[in-house]
Structure 1
Amino acid sequence: MRLTNCTLRGRVALFTGAAVGVLCVAFSIVLMFALNRMATQNLTKEVTAVGELTAYYVDRGELVNPLPPIPRNLVRPVQVVDPQGKVVAATQDLQRKPVMAHFAPRNPQRVATAVVCDAVFASKGCHIIVAQQVFRNGDWTIYSAAPTLPFYVYPGVTAILLAGTVLFTIAVAYGARHTVTRSLRPVDAIRAQLDHIRSTNLGSRVPVPTARDEIFRLARSVNQTLDRLEDMFEQQRQFCADASHELRTPLTAIRAQVEDALLAPDDVDLEGLCKAVLPSVERLQAITADLLTLTRLDSGAPSEGQPVDLTRLVALELNGHEFEREVVRDLAPGVVVRGDPARLRQLICNLLQNAHRHASTTVTVTIRPGCGKGDPRFPRGVAELEILDDGAGIAADQRETVFRRFARLDTARSRDAGGIGLGLPIARQIAENHGGTLTIQDSDRGARFVVRLPLVS
């Protein structure tokens, strides 16, 4: 089975088991190497002790051939070589054998050790040989030896380590799989609940585990996302209902006028019919254009980013329209922002139309630069566009309501002069797409809309 097709439980168990197995094998190798080293040192000491005992008899002139007396627990292959290099005594197994080695001590201790392979011993293989020198009418050399130990030294220990490695690896892998399985049970519950959530039951939420761990935070984030999705779906349903209502009104008017004309075609004044239908058509066109604009803004469609003289843009917009209300200007020169001139001009136009629609006598337009006051959105300062009307104003608890799509206050509906409830939402979306804000601030009279955009310099 390919690893990519394994479950998370299987991958964790496989990785953990493999890692533990490798560590156990490495530990076993190190332990066996240490045991081999210790056993080899002990064996070398035993071989040296045999040579020292033989040297004692050589020094006293009590040398016999074969070499005993040597205690049985110390019997090792031993040879005694005289100063002429002749073997004069040896243990029983080395009788009539040539010298087992040809090295001699060259240190003050007069003892040397070496490993010699394929020498004179009956058992082939490598042997540890210790050479010791004794001075008696010349330098005599005593060679004592023992077969080298295998790497595993003690087969029982090796078997225990091997069995322990296998059992410990299996136990750890099983434990890791069991732990991951228990840890992922809340994830399975979250997945199962998400599978059952549809657009018709967005009120359902995934279970949140009691342990405040990563899965707890995941479940909480999922529920927060579901909250936002539910709000978005609710807004979408409300938007569709409001849009249908707004479109139905002019369509109903057009249908009624056309049906009246069909009932009495001879009495129809074509010019009057067209003049009666045209306002409804213009209203449909305005709604469609605003809906298209909102769709583009919501989709994050890229817009031009270039330095724009906001003061000049507002002046052009004011000079290009005739207003029934008095317009007071307070425009600071040289306030430059970065953005799309067409979008920014639409923002200004929507705010001016809203202020003109609700003002009693005067609309005040102000542009001024300011500091960002530590706001990371305005690192180089802020450009403030303020549009104030002297109308009835907007209550504090309704200031966010006017930015909802197709939302209009009762006073606006009763004295509506063409507004469809999309101008202010479009204006706020444009401001936010340019890294700024559009809010309603306190004022002594009327409504005070304030746009804040990042300054270029």
Structure 2
Amino acid sequence: MLLARDWAENEVEETAERTVERIAFDLVRGEPAKALRPRPGESPIVQVVSRDGRRVLAASEEIIGRPPLASADLIGGQLLIDRMICPGFLDDCVWIFGMRLRTSAYGDGVMVTAASPMPTLASAWLLPVALGLLLVALLSLIGWWTWHTVGRALAPVDRIRGELAHLSAGALDQRVTDPRTGGEIQDLAETVNETLDRLEEATNRERRFVSDASHDLRNPIAGLRTRLEVALEEPGDAGWRPAVRAALRDVDRLNEIVADLLELSRLDSRAPQPVERVDLADLARREIERRPGRTPVTTRLEPGVTVRANPVRLSRVLGNLLSNAERHTESAIEVVVERERDEAVVVVADDGAGVPEESRERVFERFARLPDSRRRDPQGTGLGLPIAREIAQIYGGTLSIADSAKGARFVMRLPLAAGRDPA
């Protein structure tokens, strides 16, 4: 605003100054009649005032009959006038430039003045209003452009939202459209699709779990029901003991399946269990000693390898691994507890047929049983190894099958407990 106002005032000042210089030149050459007629681009108000500043000797048509402009400066004997004045006999303020001439056709010491109306931009209120309107127009344009641009940029987000809103539980195989625009919006679409992949996998796994659990529970229940019905139909006490023993075996299997399902439920819900420092060597030793001992077990237990976990859950992991090794071993089982850098490592290895490389991840799926496992233990549930891996992952570790010259080699890794026991 200040720059615009200064530019307009400078234009008026230069116009008045040029007009006075031209009039003075004409008067010095002796052409008074021609001098007072304003030319195009010059100030329209011209006066020639006497030395004392009280009489107007000549004036342009626009100001004929008017008193002298800037009379106070003229009476005071100023040699040069260059300022804005607002005389009452004019409608607007004007910028006046005056120069005193030593000699002229109107006498000696006269003052030649020229005045130009102040430009509209120099008005005290019009320029701020104009700039305000311009600012409003610019802000409106910027607002519209921002709304339009951001709307186009976020259109893929709205499309993703709409596709997710119409996604149903029965159509988890659908995916949102990848906009292929690069940047964060494409990352959002890819993340949503990856999340849908995991959700579909989890849903399918839950369906398989329900199907497999129903199948495994139905067989022992049907067998139990049949044996009990047969026992009830037998006359007297004849033959009921073998049937009841078989029914008890079915009940035991049902109990094992239900116990495994409950444990999986607790693991899936991440139900909190008290944790403490557990010495893995002592834990492995106790777990081996309490087993029947049908298969020889060789150990290599490094003392002082401690982790923070629930000892009951870790005992279940070791028990499941040892049970699995007993089913598949041919002569002996090896148990190793050692420290590797900042990890505790537990190894349970057997000398059986081993697990094919392509099936090493499948054995950790719930209810997944390889043909050899079904042949050796028809009554198994297929939940022991999945439970063992879940427990290892809960405490920040891993459980996997490593390469071995013969047999299966299960390796569990857990982070070591911070610090050392006082003992």
Same fold (TM over 0.5): yes
Q: Is the 8 A contact 1:329 1:366 kept in 2?
A: yes
Q: Quick one: which amino acid aligns to residue 304 of structure 2?
A: G
Pair 1:128–1:429, CA change in 2 (3 A): same
SS in 1 for 2:121: coil
Name the Cα RMSD after superposition: 4.4
Q: What is the rounded CA distance, in whole Å, between the counterparts of 1:75 and 1:296 in structure 2?
A: 97
The answer to whether the aligner puts 1:293 opposite 2:263 as a matched pair is yes
Q: Which residue of 2 aligns with 1:390?
A: 351
| Counterpart among 279, 285, 299 of residue 309 in structure 1 | 279
Q: Which residue of 1 aligns with 2:377?
A: 416
Q: Quick one: which amino acid aligns to residue 59 of structure 2?
A: T
Q: What is the rounded CA distance, in whole Å, between the counterparts of 2:122 and 2:69 in structure 1?
A: 30
Q: Which residue of 2 aligns with 1:402?
A: 363
Q: Which residue of 2 aligns with 1:7?
A: none
Q: How does 1:79-228 map to 2 (within 5 A)?
A: 79-80=47-48, 84-89=52-57, 91=59, 93=63, 95=65, 97=67, 99-100=69-70, 102=72, 113-116=82-85, 118-123=86-91, 125-134=92-101, 142-151=112-121, 173=144, 177=148, 184=155, 188=159, 198-206=168-176, 208=178, 219-228=189-198
Pair 1:312–1:35, CA change in 2 (3 A): same
Pair 1:368–1:134, CA change in 2 (3 A): farther
Q: Which residue of 2 aligns with 1:425?
A: 386
Q: What is the rounded CA distance, in whole Å, between the counterparts of 1:281 and 1:101 in structure 2?
A: 125
Pair 1:140–1:280, CA change in 2 (3 A): farther
Q: What is the rounded CA distance, in whole Å, between the counterparts of 1:388 and 1:147 in structure 2?
A: 106
Q: Quick one: which amino acid aligns to residue 306 of structure 2?
A: V
| Counterpart among 442, 447, 450 of residue 403 in structure 2 | 442
| Counterpart among 248, 266, 290 of residue 218 in structure 2 | 248
Q: Which residue of 2 aligns with 1:364?
A: 334
Q: What is the rounded CA distance, in whole Å, between the counterparts of 1:139 and 1:180 in structure 2?
A: 74
Q: Is the 8 A contact 2:56 2:67 kept in 1?
A: no
The answer to whether the aligner puts 1:48 opposite 2:17 as a matched pair is yes
Q: Tell me by how many angstroms 1:214 deviates.
A: 6.2
Pair 1:311–1:151, CA change in 2 (3 A): farther
Q: Which stretch has the larger CA shift, 42-51 or 424-433?
A: 42-51
Q: What is the rounded CA distance, in whole Å, between the counterparts of 1:233 and 1:426 in structure 2?
A: 19
Q: What is the rounded CA distance, in whole Å, between the counterparts of 1:413 and 1:328 in structure 2?
A: 26
Q: Is the 8 A contact 1:68 1:91 kept in 2?
A: no
Q: Tell me by how many angstroms 1:308 deviates.
A: 3.5
The answer to whether the aligner puts 1:350 opposite 2:310 as a matched pair is no
Pair 1:148–1:356, CA change in 2 (3 A): same
Pair 1:252–1:111, CA change in 2 (3 A): farther
Could you list the per-position Cα deviations for residues 214-237 of structure 1 after superposition, in whole angstroms to 9, with x for gaps in the alignment? 666555554444443333333222
Q: Which stretch has the larger CA shift, 337-346 or 137-146?
A: 137-146
SS in 2 for 1:444: coil
SS in 2 for 1:308: strand
Q: What is the rounded CA distance, in whole Å, between the counterparts of 2:29 and 2:180 in structure 1?
A: 89
Pair 1:132–1:440, CA change in 2 (3 A): same
Q: What is the rounded CA distance, in whole Å, between the counterparts of 1:75 and 1:404 in structure 2?
A: 99
Q: Which stretch has the larger CA shift, 235-244 or 143-152?
A: 143-152
Aligned residues: 402
Structure 2, gaps ≥5 residues long = 419-423
Q: Is the 8 A contact 1:97 1:120 kept in 2?
A: no
Identical residues among aligned pairs (%): 35
Q: How does 1:323-334 map to 2 (within 5 A)?
A: 323-334=293-304
Could you list the per-position Cα deviations for residues 314-343 of structure 1 after superposition, in whole angstroms to 9, with x for gaps in the alignment? 333334444222221211122233333333
Q: Tell me by how many angstroms 1:442 deviates.
A: 1.4
Q: Is the 8 A contact 1:128 1:145 kept in 2?
A: yes
Q: What is the rounded CA distance, in whole Å, between the counterparts of 1:187 and 1:88 in structure 2?
A: 79
Q: Quick one: which amino acid aligns to residue 355 of structure 1?
A: A
Q: Which residue of 1 aligns with 2:421?
A: none
Q: What is the rounded CA distance, in whole Å, between the counterparts of 1:388 and 1:219 in structure 2?
A: 45
Q: Tell me by how many angstroms 1:253 deviates.
A: 2.1
TM-score of the superposed pair, with normalisation by structure 1: 0.72
Could you list the per-position Cα deviations for residues 353-382 of structure 1 after superposition, in whole angstroms to 9, with x for gaps in the alignment? 2223322332211111113xxxxxxxxx22
Q: Quick one: which amino acid aligns to residue 331 of structure 1?
A: L
TM-score of the superposed pair, with normalisation by structure 2: 0.77
Q: Is the 8 A contact 1:87 1:99 kept in 2?
A: no
The answer to whether the aligner puts 1:77 opposite 2:45 as a matched pair is yes
Q: What is the rounded CA distance, in whole Å, between the counterparts of 1:322 and 1:111 in structure 2?
A: 125
Rg larger for: 2
Pair 1:340–1:100, CA change in 2 (3 A): farther
Q: Tell me by how many angstroms 1:422 deviates.
A: 0.6
Q: Is the 8 A contact 1:94 1:121 kept in 2?
A: no
Q: What is the rounded CA distance, in whole Å, between the counterparts of 1:80 and 1:130 in structure 2?
A: 12
Q: Which stretch has the larger CA shift, 284-293 or 304-313?
A: 304-313
Q: Which residue of 2 aligns with 1:21?
A: none
Q: What is the rounded CA distance, in whole Å, between the counterparts of 2:332 and 2:109 in structure 1?
A: 128
Q: Which stretch has the larger CA shift, 33-42 or 399-408?
A: 33-42
Pair 1:40–1:368, CA change in 2 (3 A): same
Q: What is the rounded CA distance, in whole Å, between the counterparts of 1:115 and 1:385 in structure 2?
A: 99
Q: Quick one: which amino acid aligns to residue 130 of structure 1?
A: F
Q: What is the rounded CA distance, in whole Å, between the counterparts of 2:93 and 2:70 in structure 1?
A: 12
Could you list the per-position Cα deviations for residues 87-118 of structure 1 after superposition, in whole angstroms to 9, with x for gaps in the alignment? 554525264525426569xxxxx7563333x4
